[in-house]
Structure 1
Amino acid sequence: MREGISGFTLLPVSTSASLVGMFVFLSLMRWWRHAGHREVLGFRVPVPGRWTLLSGLCSAAIIGTTTLAYTLPGASIVFMMLLMRGGVLVLAPVVDVISGRRVRWPSWVALGLSFGAVAVAAGSSVSPTLTLLAAADVGVYLAAYFFRLRAMSHLAKSGEREVSIRYFVEEQMVATPVLVGTLAVLALLGGEGMCGELRAGFTEALSRGHLFTEVSVGLLSQGTGIFGALILLDGRENAFCVPVNRASSVLAGVLATGLLSVTLGQPGAGALELVGAALVVAAMAVLAVPSVMAARRRAAAPPVAPIARP
């Protein structure tokens, strides 16, 4: 590429690829049958419930704001990732308390480390001309995650596989279709600025010359969305599931920044950003302690002899 493209121009192709990836995944897994169904014109079609509809709308906002966050000119990938990932880490125990779930001590320790990561990220240098745009993007992202985690806690985090799959299918069947439809409507409005860039994203997809890369962005984004959602739907508290979900993303951001620095001469990750990323990873390590200790206790426990029957 001789020059970059804006995040709004990238969204139409990437989200359309995510939409296709979602339908292919659910079809290959044969999970459509787990969704709620209704009769429409003589056909049984899958339909979301009230909570999964809300969660799907929030997921659509998360997909859009995540893509934009990584394409803001002058904004470090690691900086934006720390604000977004660290913010969700902070939200997790808050949602647990509201939902009446017990938060264990490792989760509170992880919360403290997450606060440190966000504080470190706030000390990084960011272009002041983009502060408002970056803040708005992160704000929408975190608000969407709050309502999404609240909906999951209310309906799906029961530990029952069928319940989790049903929630996952109904949420996914809402998220990307709503996002693609919203982008299409805005593109039809045309004009300058965001709407014009969205229209160019749809109409100039072939002429830009890097369609494969844009499609790959969407498919990989959908892949992280699939596995990330399945982790969040685990029956344990959000203060456990969210850090497990987030830490890998932070590591990916640091790695991506390093690769861009080596291969394309882009600015690398700064010292503060690396410290913030390390704090997020430390939070995940703390959360792993109870599971590791429990596994060791089970391994050390003597086998239980079978009870002889007369």
Structure 2
Amino acid sequence: MELTDHRRDLTIWGYAFGYFACYAPYSALTKALSQGALDGMTRGISGFELLPWSTLASGVGMFLFLTARGWWQYASTRTVLGVRVPFPSPWTFLSGLCSAAIIATTTLAYTFDGTSIVFMMLLMRGGVLILAPLVDVMSRRRVAWPSWVALGLSLAAVGVATAPGVDARVTAAALVDLGVYLLGYFIRLRFMSHLAKGQDASASIRYFVEEQMVATPALVAVLVGAALLGEGPVLSDIRHGFTDLLTRGRVLEELLVGVLSQGTGVFGGLILLDHRENSFCVPVNRASSIVAGVVATGLLSVLLGMPGAGRRELLGAALVMGAMLVLSLPTVLKARRAAKQAAPVTGSEAGGRAPGR
């Protein structure tokens, strides 16, 4: 049964909570593993070492999620050797490649030495926040006023956390990582706006399934190819990522990074595919992850003695929460009005009406 409009509008906030619930432990665990901060670790695990098995775990999580939801039926199909199989369109295939790049660069972003989770997160999220209204304008979508207010608050949060005086060491590798991440999101948002964002829920699910079935397998294929080449420090790390899982002694943690990463991909993708404009959906998505980053930093500080979130980062998180409140109020009020209108009329209310009405 189709959801009513007001219930459908509220669904995005459930996705936002799911995104937060996956993102906080995902970013914290990734940072702890890369810094060798867990008990018994003698060295940190580089981001490229983390990618192979975490990506494989993400692929398994993707398959299980789509199967459990029964969403394979929404995908386009082709006949291969006499069997109808799910098959992406050229556009969802390209979007899936962009999603693969986002998965890889997100994991790597939290492994750079000297750069905090919150700072890298704000750079990445702030960049996408800037892209959102640009994509809406290019896609000729109307941007409602709450979206502009929330966008302004979100950008203010980025400005507070990256203002002069903040310890903001960013390596060349981190800048390249950021550039690939933003390019991937720009292309992905353009495709989503053109092909999926609308009132047709089945179109959004089809897009989501076809993108997901490409993203993780494509990333695994790239990592396998890189491991087989095995020349240079980066490719060597990828190869050791595949072969030294048991030696590193953090099997559960590395696989959990992948499962949580897939969780962020699922909930984050569903947020972005909401039928409303990108200038609404992107701040919801970005705000959830920024708050998750602050929580992750707090957990690392309390549990492992790593540096905690500073005042500016906390102020940034407060501004982000304000952005989420601005975005949520119109939808919540609309849902309450719809529920009130749909409520049955009581006997006393009926008796109080004027005759003949």
Q: C-alpha separation between the residues in 2 aligned to 1:95 and 1:302?
A: 36
Pick aligned residue for 2:157 from 96, 113, 117: 117
For residue 45 of structure 1, give the secondary structure of its aligned residue in structure 2: strand
Task: Report the counterpart of residue 143 of structure 1 in structure 2.
Answer: 183
Q: C-alpha separation between the residues in 2 aligned to 1:8 and 1:40?
A: 35
Pick aligned residue for 1:289 from 307, 312, 329: 329
Q: Is 1:64 the counterpart of 2:104 in the alignment? A: yes
Q: CA deviation at 1:30?
A: 1.9
- Residues 186-205 of structure 1 mapped to structure 2, 5 A cutoff: 186-205=226-245
In terms of mean alpha carbon deviation, does 110-119 or 227-236 score higher?
110-119
Task: Report the counterpart of residue 108 of structure 1 in structure 2.
Answer: 148
Q: C-alpha separation between the residues in 2 aligned to 1:146 and 1:184?
A: 27
Q: C-alpha separation between the residues in 2 aligned to 1:275 and 1:251?
A: 11
Pick aligned residue for 2:62 from 16, 22, 28: 22
Task: Report the counterpart of residue 128 of structure 2 in structure 1.
Answer: 88
Q: Is 1:230 the counterpart of 2:287 in the alignment? A: no
Superposition CA RMSD, Å: 1.8
Q: CA deviation at 1:54?
A: 1.5
Deviations 1:110-168 (A, max 9, x none): 222222222223223123xx432222111111111111111111011112121111111
Pick aligned residue for 1:48 from 69, 85, 88: 88
In terms of mean alpha carbon deviation, does 215-224 or 23-32 score higher?
23-32
Q: Measured at CA, do residues 104 and 207 of structure 1 come closer, stay the same or move farther in structure 2, by a change above 3 Å?
A: same
Gaps of 5+ in 1: none
Q: CA deviation at 1:86?
A: 2.1
Q: C-alpha separation between the residues in 2 aligned to 1:302 and 1:10?
A: 52
Gaps of 5+ in 2: 1-40, 351-357
Instruction: State the TM-score, normalizing by the size of structure 1.
Output: 0.93
Aligned length: 304
Q: C-alpha separation between the residues in 2 aligned to 1:112 and 1:7?
A: 33
Q: C-alpha separation between the residues in 2 aligned to 1:60 and 1:150?
A: 16
Deviations 1:230-265 (A, max 9, x none): 111111111111122222211211111111111111
In terms of mean alpha carbon deviation, does 277-286 or 21-30 score higher?
277-286
For residue 258 of structure 2, give the secondary structure of its aligned residue in structure 1: helix
Q: Measured at CA, do residues 191 and 235 of structure 1 come closer, stay the same or move farther in structure 2, by a change above 3 Å?
A: same
Paired-residue identity, %? 64
Q: C-alpha separation between the residues in 2 aligned to 1:276 and 1:139?
A: 23
Deviations 1:13-46 (A, max 9, x none): 1111001111111122221121111111212121
Q: Measured at CA, do residues 304 and 230 of structure 1 come closer, stay the same or move farther in structure 2, by a change above 3 Å?
A: same
Task: Report the counterpart of residue 134 of structure 1 in structure 2.
Answer: 174
Task: Report the counterpart of residue 264 of structure 1 in structure 2.
Answer: 304
- Residues 178-257 of structure 1 mapped to structure 2, 5 A cutoff: 178-257=218-297
Instruction: State the TM-score, normalizing by the size of structure 2.
Output: 0.81
